[in-house]
Chains A and B, each alone.
Chain A
């Protein structure tokens, strides 16, 4: 158990709909990452938050958005869903200090999203 909790584990929804994926980081971790894993794209970095602020942005679509709340949990919102958005979405957290050290990230078990 990595200590990172993602809900729900599975989600099936129709095209055009909107969903919210939730992530609770490990206790004490300030940094949260979101990744998308699909069969043909590998692990794609979407976005990262540190202590409530957006820190880095990857290949995140405009239809997707995320935020990190004061209690450090994070949500990834996916809207106007398309069939191609079907994937495994991972959240990860790390200590990632402000002193420059970048630490390893621990991953949740993922949310498998199926768009039908």
Chain B
């Protein structure tokens, strides 16, 4: 069975602080995909990144960076120099290969509040 755990329910930081959101996953698949989504107060779910299981290269996009480590089954998300607009619920998700286990399972989400 596939499972995603986001142990941090809520995080509060002050603007310009760095913050890391943790994601730990469980899967028996050898091919799988990890995702991060952002849900701002307006409610829509915004795709941030996809990572394939065979690509452990970390990724940086502006103030966002992601650290994928298969050895610890983790896919953590760091926001550098946080801003008030980063306040949202962030979800980590996992899916298997399309031909095997296709549904995308979400973690419970981490609510990030960035205070001015």
| Number of chain B residues close to chain A: CB under 8 A | 25
Once the chains are docked, how many angstroms separate the CA of A103 from the CA of B33?
Answer: 8
Query: Chain A, interface size: which category?
Result: 20 to 34
Other contacts beyond A101-B98, A105-B47, A107-B45: 14, CB < 8 A: A43-B91, A43-B109, A45-B104, A45-B105, A56-B101, A56-B103, A92-B45, A92-B104, A97-B98, A102-B95, A102-B96, A104-B47, A104-B50, A107-B47
- 0 or 1 for each of A100-116: is its CB under 8 Å from B? (1 = yes): 11111111011000000
Which A residue's beta carbon lies closest to that of B99? A100
Query: Shortest Cβ distance from A7 into chain B, in angstroms?
Result: 15
The answer to whether A109 and B104 touch (CB under 8 A), given A42-B109, A43-B91, is: no
List A57-105 residues whose CB lies under 8 Å from chain B.
57-58, 88, 90, 92, 96-105
Which B residue's beta carbon lies closest to that of A56? B103
